[in-house]
């Protein structure tokens, strides 16, 4: 297994937990609204045996600090770019799940020179989610529980929605791929989830998508929720040059449920779009 290096780095006024493994062309992962999504996939041999795999905890997740909330999309993008520069990486393959994919879509607009290829794993497109009655009902219920002080209950409602109704079975599956205490860490980051990730305004349109010229992988879980299927189809329409993949044995939590399959598909995509100089 590739050796892991973890460091706590001062980035734009916050301390961010940054990890890297392997060597070769750099691949940067950005997690979504759980914090631990990337923990298993970044260890998969299909990636770490061939690439320099980098991931970090965004502000307020894991051991990363969050001086104030909500964290703007501008700040998220600046943090990602600063992490890359701290590690001496000017350009990389990028992979993001859910709200992490949102960060990378904006990064591709603001700093296209930093993005060699772009893997989108069910981006949380506001234009779709804001029109979903199913997603809206979940947010209302989870938000009410969070407001009452029941952080664990709020996170569980969110987890049941995106990870499947059989939440305990989903947790058992996560136990096979994530380190112990993943749910407790998720609850510990509830303030960041509900006060920042769910509150920071951001929009992305078809006109924005037309500006993205890099190779794109558009991947969804085979059993994901209808609104994430709609997002997948929206990305497919907006980015006709994208490679479109359905990952078996997975829903929205694809990196937690099928990290091996995800890693193999990501590595195949990156290998088809090599970077010069490595």
CA dihedral 95, 224, 69, 184 (to 10 degrees): -100
Q: What percent of the chain has pLDDT over 90?
A: 86
CB 23 within 8 A of CB 49: no
The reported pLDDT for the residue numbered 178 is 83
How crowded is the C-beta side of 17, counted as CA atoms within 13 Å? 16
As a whole number of angstroms, the distance between CA 92 and CA 52 comes to 10
Q: Please state which of the four CATH numbers 3.30.420.40, 3.40.50.970, 3.40.50.1820, 3.30.1330.10 is assigned to the domain occupying 4-125+202-271.
A: 3.40.50.1820
Mean pLDDT of 154-176: 80
Query: Taken in order 236, 157, 17, 51, is the CA torsion positive or negative?
Result: negative
- The secondary structure of 35-76 as a DSSP string is S-GGGTGGG-HHHHTTEEEEEEPPTTSTT---SSSSPPHHHH
As a whole number of angstroms, the distance between CA 62 and CA 76 comes to 15
Give the model confidence (pLDDT) of 13-68 as tens digits: 999 999 999 999 999 999 999 999 999 999 999 999 999 999 999 999 999 999 99
Helix axes 133-147, 151-163, angle to 10 degrees: 160
What pTM did the predictor assign?
Answer: 0.95
- Residue that has been written with the tokens 């940067």 in this structure: 28
User: Among 50, 39, 41, which residue's Cα sits nearest to residue 17?
Assistant: 39
The reported pLDDT for the residue numbered 175 is 77
As a whole number of angstroms, the distance between CA 132 and CA 29 comes to 27
The reported pLDDT for the residue numbered 172 is 72
- With 70 as the cut, is the pLDDT of residue 144 above it? yes
The reported pLDDT for the residue numbered 176 is 78
Confidence of residue 3 (pLDDT cuts 50, 70, 90): low
Give the model confidence (pLDDT) of 173-203 as tens digits: 787 788 888 889 999 999 999 999 998 889 9
The reported pLDDT for the residue numbered 186 is 92
SS3 breakdown of the chain: % helix, strand, coil, rounded to 5?
45, 20, 35
- With 80 as the cut, is the pLDDT of residue 2 above it? no
The reported pLDDT for the residue numbered 181 is 83
The reported pLDDT for the residue numbered 62 is 94
- The secondary structure of 110-132 as a DSSP string is H-GGGEEEEEEES---HHHHTT-
The reported pLDDT for the residue numbered 4 is 75
Beta bridge partners of 4: 21
């Amino acid at each position: 297994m590739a050796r892991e290096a973890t460091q706590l780095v001062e980035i734009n006024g916050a301390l961010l937990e940054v990890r890297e493994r392997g060597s070769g062309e750099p691949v940067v992962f950005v997690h979504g609204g759980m914090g631990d999504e990337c923990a298993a996939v970044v260890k998969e041999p299909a990636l770490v045996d061939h690439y320099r795999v980098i991931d970090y905890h965004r502000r307020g997740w894991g051991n990363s600090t969050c001086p104030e909330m909500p964290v703007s999309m501008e700040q998220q993008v600046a943090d990602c770019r600063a992490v890359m520069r701290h590690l001496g990486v000017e350009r990389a393959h990028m992979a993001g799940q859910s709200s992490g994919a949102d960060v990378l879509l904006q990064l591709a607009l603001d700093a296209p020179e930093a993005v060699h290829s772009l893997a989108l794993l069910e981006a949380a497109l506001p234009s779709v989610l804001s029109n979903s009655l199913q997603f809206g009902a979940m947010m209302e219920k989870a938000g009410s529980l969070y407001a009452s002080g029941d952080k664990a209950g709020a996170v569980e409602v969110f987890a049941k929605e995106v990870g499947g109704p059989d939440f305990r079975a989903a947790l058992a599956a996560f136990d096979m791929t994530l380190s112990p205490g993943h749910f407790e860490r998720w609850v510990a980051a509830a303030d960041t989830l509900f006060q920042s990730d769910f509150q920071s305004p951001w929009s992305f349109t078809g006109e924005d998508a037309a500006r993205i010229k890099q190779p794109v992988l558009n991947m969804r879980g085979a059993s994901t929720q209808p609104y994430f299927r709609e997002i997948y189809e929206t990305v497919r329409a907006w980015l006709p040059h994208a490679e479109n993949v359905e990952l078996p044995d997975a829903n929205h939590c694809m990196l937690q449920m099928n990290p091996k399959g995800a890693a193999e598909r990501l590595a195949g995509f990156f290998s088809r779009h090599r970077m010069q100089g490595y």
